[in-house]
Amino acid sequence: MFIYKLIDCLYSLPFLGWMFHTRVYCLKKELSGCGSVLDLGCGPNSPVQFCSVPKKVGVELFRPYLESSQRKKIHNQYILGDVTEVAFKPKSFDAVILIDVLEHLKKTQGRKLIKKMESWAKKKVILTTPNGYLKQNVLDQNCFQLHRSGWSVDELRKSGYRVYGMAGWRFLRTSKSALSWVGEKEEDEVSTIRFSPRLFWLVVSELTQIVTYFWPEKSFEIFCVKEVCK
């Protein structure tokens, strides 16, 4: 629908991004100065498409998502594979990112992957995940969409990450699978809104984001960054 494409475009605007601390704005800011990025679990519509990074490598296990991303030419190179099984040499990329993937792994798998990411990165590791455990079942006929773990602000801070709040006050949102109105084509920012009318509550959610960015314990998602020691 046109409205969802419009929302997607608005989220990429610098002024609105700065005001509401959108994911795209924060990612662009953190990737500034990076010449290469490894995008693990890149999915069909990675926000890295809005970032000016010369070399972008996408890894995706679900073939339909990978092919969708390829058609959009979001990355320079693609790898069809499991993010827990791929291997790279130490310091292969300036940045390694994991956007909405960590929650799909078991806790032990997630911890191991984070350690690998920190070894592959020259400058920083960036990851996003729901704030705490968020139940989600299969979506898009993709069994990998199941949520298997939850991650807290406190545990990621203890691992050396700067943590910021994303997507506003957590009470205003829920998992996609919990909503009967969610369709496969709808954008993430709208599809997790709990109440109707959804566009109204999206605006409310974004207004709360001004506060929850600095108060991640109350946010729906968390945006985490770790500078890697050289």
CATH number for the domain spanning 144: value is: 3.40.50.150
Mean pLDDT on 196-220 = 91
Q: Is residue 8 part of a domain?
A: no
Mean pLDDT on 95-122 = 97
- What is the pTM (predicted TM-score) of this model? 0.85
The yes-or-no verdict on residue 12 having pLDDT over 70 is: no
What does the mean pLDDT of the chain come to? 87
Quick one: pLDDT at residue 5? 60
Mean pLDDT on 73-87 = 97
Report residue 36 as tokens. Answer: 């290469």
The yes-or-no verdict on residue 153 having pLDDT over 90 is: yes
Q: Please choose, from the candidates 163, 140, 181, 178, the residue with its C-alpha nearest in 3D space to the C-alpha of residue 217.
A: 163
Q: Is residue 18 part of a domain?
A: no
The yes-or-no verdict on residue 68 having pLDDT over 90 is: yes
Beta-bridge partner residues of 130: 221
Q: Please choose, from the candidates 130, 96, 87, 144, the residue with its C-alpha nearest in 3D space to the C-alpha of residue 216.
A: 130
The yes-or-no verdict on residue 191 having pLDDT over 70 is: no
**pLDDT 10s digits, 43-54:** 999 999 999 999
Q: Is residue 112 part of a domain?
A: yes
Calpha distance 105→99 (Å, rounded): 13
Calpha distance 90→198 (Å, rounded): 45
Q: Give yes or no for a contact between 130 and 103, defined as CB atoms under 8 angstroms apart.
A: yes
Q: Is residue 89 part of a domain?
A: yes
Number of domains within the chain: 1
Q: Is residue 47 part of a domain?
A: yes
Q: Is residue 96 part of a domain?
A: yes
The yes-or-no verdict on residue 195 having pLDDT over 60 is: yes
User: Could you list the residue range(s) of the whole structural domain that residue 99 is in?
Assistant: 35-163
Q: Give yes or no for a contact between 186 and 4, defined as CB atoms under 8 angstroms apart.
A: yes
Q: Please choose, from the candidates 21, 68, 14, 15, the residue with its C-alpha nearest in 3D space to the C-alpha of residue 45.
A: 68
Q: Is residue 120 part of a domain?
A: yes
Quick one: pLDDT at residue 135? 74
Q: Is residue 10 part of a domain?
A: no
Burial level of 119, CB count in 10 A (0-12/13-18/19+)?
middle
**Higher pLDDT among residues 206 and 94, named by residue:** 94
Quick one: pLDDT at residue 179? 45
206: Cβ contacts below 8 Å, ≥ 6 apart = 20, 168
Calpha distance 13→167 (Å, rounded): 16
